Amino acid sequence: MAVRGSSVLGLTIMRSFVRVGVVERAVVVAQRQPVRANAAGHRTSIWVEPDKVVENVVAMCQLARANDIVPLISSIPPCASFAWNPDIKDAAQTIVNINERLREYADAHNIVYVDYHSALADEHGGFPAKLSADGCHPNPDTYFIMEELVLKAIGEALR
């Protein structure tokens, strides 16, 4: 069964919208692994094109604003390589490129941008060993660093 990444991420947009009420007036558009989507009911991962990742974040922001919710955009955290698809050789640079586009959109639309990537990336574009076991997924303590960044951004967005 072929599952298109855009369909899976489209569902993510709807799930994000449903969860919006939990944060009162702010929603964080967080993209932990936006270039990868798991097909529903399957343990396979699929590649999602960078353009589609950005389009989905834009759609979430537009949906939030249309419902009088203050959006925030977060960068994609670092990841030096995608173990689930070793054919992708430029994972770190792909993430940097997407993050640049997300920041540009945030700046152009007066949306607060949470830069996890700059705060967490090592010289290879992944997480340093002390923050991640595999260079791609944050360990529990890393979320405390991320929490500080996002709480500051929420405060800024709600001013």
Q: 82 and 136 in contact (C-beta within 8 Å)?
A: yes
Q: What is the pLDDT of residue 28?
A: 57
Q: How many CB atoms lie under 10 A from the CB of residue 112?
A: 21
**pTM, to two decimals:** 0.77
Q: 69 and 20 in contact (C-beta within 8 Å)?
A: yes
How sure is the predictor about 1, in pLDDT bands with cuts at 50, 70 and 90? very low
Regarding predicted confidence, which is higher, 118 or 52? 118
How many residues are given for the chain? 159
Token code pair at residue 20: 């919006």
Q: Could you tell me whether strands 26-29 and 112-114 are parallel, antiparallel, or unpaired per DSSP bridges?
A: unpaired
Q: 135 and 127 in contact (C-beta within 8 Å)?
A: yes
Tens digit of each residue's pLDDT (9 = 90 or more) over 46-75: 667 888 889 888 988 898 888 888 889 999
Q: Could you tell me whether strands 112-114 and 70-74 are parallel, antiparallel, or unpaired per DSSP bridges?
A: parallel
Phi, psi angles (nearest 5°) of residue 55: -60, -40
